[in-house]
Chains A and B, each alone.
Chain A
C-alpha cells in the first residue's frame, strides 16, 4: 500500500542540527524527495535521493535512506530561523508518476 508517515513537530535551537524522519510502506519506490513549505506558499524542492543510494549530501542537508526499514531522514546542519517551515517527504512509486506525500513535519527554530 501507499502510506508515508512523519512526526508532526520538531523544535530545535538555532545552530543545532535538525533531523526529520519519514517512513514509507511501498518497497517499489524509485525516488524519495524532501520539500519545504513556508506559510501560504507552494512547495520548494530541497533534495532527493534515488532508491539505490543510501546517502546524499548537499551543503547543509544530508539525506539518509534505509531501504530495508523503509526509513528516510533529512538532517539540517546549523539550523537557522529561516529554516522554520513544514517539511514534506514524498515517494515516487514505480509505474506511476505521482508523488505520495507525508503529512509534513513542522520545524520550529528558536534563538
Chain B
C-alpha cells in the first residue's frame, strides 16, 4: 500500500499527558498537511509543510501543539499537556505540489480522559 499512513490509529490518554502522532506521506509528495476533525464536523486545517519548511499554521494550533517534518519525509504532531477538548480525529494528507490533490490517511483518533 503506497497511500498515506498514520500511526497510531487510536490513542487514549489522560488529561495532562503528552502525545505524539506520526504521518508518512505518499513517497515523493513534497507537501504534507495536518487537519483535525471533531465529531459531526468537517476537517479543519492545522498546518502544512513543503519539504521541511512549515509554511502555514492555523490559529487552532495553540502553543501546546507542535509539528515537525525534519527530513522532508514523515511528519510528527505533538500535543503537550492534553486537554479533553483535544479529543478528535487527527488527519494527515499529502500532495505532489500546491495545486495538486490532497490524499488523506486513515487518521489517528485521540481520546483524552
Chain A residues bordering chain B, tally (CB within 8 A): 23
B95: chain A residues within 8 A (beta carbon): 97
- Given A33-B101, A48-B101, answer yes or no on A41-B42 (Cβ-Cβ < 8 Å): no
C-alpha gap A68/B93 in the complex (Å): 30
Let me know if A98 is at the binding interface, CB within 8 A: yes
Are A100 and B91 in contact, with the CB atoms below 8 A?
A: no
Among candidates A30, A40, A43, residue contacting B43 with C-beta atoms closer than 8 Å:
A43
Range of interface residues on chain B? 20 to 34
- Given A42-B91, A45-B101, answer yes or no on A98-B107 (Cβ-Cβ < 8 Å): no
B42: chain A residues within 8 A (beta carbon): 4, 88, 90, 101-104
A48: chain B residues within 8 A (beta carbon): 101
Are B45 and A41 in contact, with the CB atoms below 8 A?
A: no
| Residue positions of B touching A, CB distance < 8 A | 4, 6, 31, 33, 35, 40-45, 48, 55-56, 58, 91, 93, 95, 98-99, 101-107, 109
Chain A residue nearest in CB terms to B6: A42
Chain A residue nearest in CB terms to B40: A103
A45: chain B residues within 8 A (beta carbon): 101-104
> A45-56, CB under 8 A of B: which get 1 and which 0?
100100000000
Let me know if A99 is at the binding interface, CB within 8 A: yes
